[in-house]
Structure 1
Amino acid sequence: MTRLTKLASLMAGAAMALSASIATAADYTLTISSWTPPTHGINAKMWPAFIKMIEEATDGRVTAEVKLDLVPPPAQIDLIEDGGADVSIIFHGYQPGRFVSAKLIELPGYPGTAERGSVTHWRAWNQYFAGLDEHKGVKLIGLTTHGPATLHTVDPVASLDDIKGLKLRVPGGVGSDVAAALGATGIQVPAPKVYETLASRAADGVVITTESRKGFRLTEVAKHMYDMPGGLYRGSFAIIMNPDTFDSLPADIQQALEEKVFGEPLSAAFGRVWDEIDEIGIEATRAQADNTITVASEADQAKYKELTKAIIEKVIAEVAATGVDAQAAYDFMMQEMSAQ
Structure 2
Amino acid sequence: MKHLIRSTVLSFGISLTVGAAWAADTVLTISSWAPPTHGMNAKLWPEFTKMLEEASDGRVSAEVKYGLGAPPAQFDLILDGVADVTWIFHGYNPGRFVASKIIELPGYEGNAEAASVAYWRAYEEYLATANEHDGVKVLAMMTHGPGILHSETKVTSLDDISGMKLRLGGGVSGDVGAALGATGIRVPAPKVYETLASKAADGVMMPMEARAGFKLFEVAPHSYSVPGGFYRGSFAIVMNQDKYDSLSDEDRAALDTIAGEALSQVAGRMWDEIDQIGIETIDGNEGNSWTEASEADVAAWNEMTGQIIESVLAEVSDKGIDAATVQAFIAEQMTGN
Matched-pair contact (CA < 8 Å) for 1:8–1:68: no
Identity, in percent, stands at 58
**Aligned equivalents of 2:51 and 2:113: distance in 1?**
17
Alpha-carbon offset, residue 100 of structure 1: 0.9
Correspondent of 1:195 among 169, 193, 196: 193
Alpha-carbon offset, residue 139 of structure 1: 1.0
The aligned counterpart of 1:71 is: 69
**Aligned equivalents of 2:62 and 2:148: distance in 1?**
33
Q: Kindly tell me: are residues 18 and 103 of structure 1, through their superposed partners in 2, closer, same or farther at Cα, counting changes over 3 Å?
A: closer
The aligned counterpart of 1:53 is: 51
- 5 Å-filtered alignment, 1:162-173, equals 162-173=160-171
Q: What code does the residue aligned with 1:121 have?
A: Y
- Kindly indicate whether residue 315 of structure 2 is the aligned counterpart of residue 318 of structure 1: yes
Deviations 1:24-83 (A, max 9, x none): 111100000000011111111111111111111111111000001211000001111100
Matched-pair contact (CA < 8 Å) for 1:8–1:65: no
Q: What code does the residue aligned with 1:282 have?
A: I
**Aligned equivalents of 1:36 and 1:78: distance in 2?**
17
Instruction: Give the secondary structure class of the aligned counterpart of 2:140.
Output: strand
Q: Kindly tell me: are residues 43 and 298 of structure 1, through their superposed partners in 2, closer, same or farther at Cα, counting changes over 3 Å?
A: same
**Aligned equivalents of 2:61 and 2:174: distance in 1?**
37
**Aligned equivalents of 1:10 and 1:199: distance in 2?**
23
- Kindly indicate whether residue 282 of structure 2 is the aligned counterpart of residue 265 of structure 1: no
After TM superposition, which residue ranges in structure 1, 4 or more long, deviate above 2 angstroms? Answer: none
- Kindly indicate whether residue 289 of structure 2 is the aligned counterpart of residue 292 of structure 1: yes
**Aligned equivalents of 1:334 and 1:98: distance in 2?**
24
The aligned counterpart of 2:247 is: 249
- Kindly indicate whether residue 281 of structure 2 is the aligned counterpart of residue 280 of structure 1: no
Matched-pair contact (CA < 8 Å) for 2:152–2:219: yes
Query: Cα RMSD over matched residues?
Result: 1.3
Deviations 1:221-269 (A, max 9, x none): 00101121210100000000001111111001101211x2110000000
The aligned counterpart of 2:131 is: 133
**Aligned equivalents of 2:150 and 2:311: distance in 1?**
26
Q: Which runs of 5+ in 2 are unaligned?
A: 1-6
Instruction: Give the secondary structure class of the aligned counterpart of 1:108.
Output: coil
**Aligned equivalents of 2:299 and 2:54: distance in 1?**
47
- Kindly indicate whether residue 44 of structure 2 is the aligned counterpart of residue 43 of structure 1: no
The aligned counterpart of 2:219 is: 221
Q: Kindly tell me: are residues 164 and 325 of structure 1, through their superposed partners in 2, closer, same or farther at Cα, counting changes over 3 Å?
A: same
Instruction: Give the secondary structure class of the aligned counterpart of 1:24.
Output: helix
- Kindly indicate whether residue 153 of structure 2 is the aligned counterpart of residue 124 of structure 1: no
Instruction: Give the secondary structure class of the aligned counterpart of 1:308.
Output: helix
Alpha-carbon offset, residue 213 of structure 1: 0.3
Matched-pair contact (CA < 8 Å) for 2:35–2:41: yes
Instruction: Give the secondary structure class of the aligned counterpart of 1:293.
Output: strand
The aligned counterpart of 2:174 is: 176
Q: What code does the residue aligned with 1:9 have?
A: L
Alpha-carbon offset, residue 9 of structure 1: 1.1
The aligned counterpart of 1:3 is: none
Correspondent of 2:324 among 314, 323, 327: 327
**Aligned equivalents of 2:120 and 2:71: distance in 1?**
22
Alpha-carbon offset, residue 8 of structure 1: 5.1
Instruction: Give the secondary structure class of the aligned counterpart of 2:126.
Output: helix
- 5 Å-filtered alignment, 1:76-155, equals 76-155=74-153
Alpha-carbon offset, residue 285 of structure 1: 2.0
**Aligned equivalents of 1:125 and 1:61: distance in 2?**
29
Matched-pair contact (CA < 8 Å) for 1:142–1:267: yes
**Aligned equivalents of 1:324 and 1:72: distance in 2?**
30
Q: What code does the residue aligned with 1:138 have?
A: V
Instruction: Give the secondary structure class of the aligned counterpart of 2:63.
Output: strand
Matched-pair contact (CA < 8 Å) for 1:219–1:291: yes
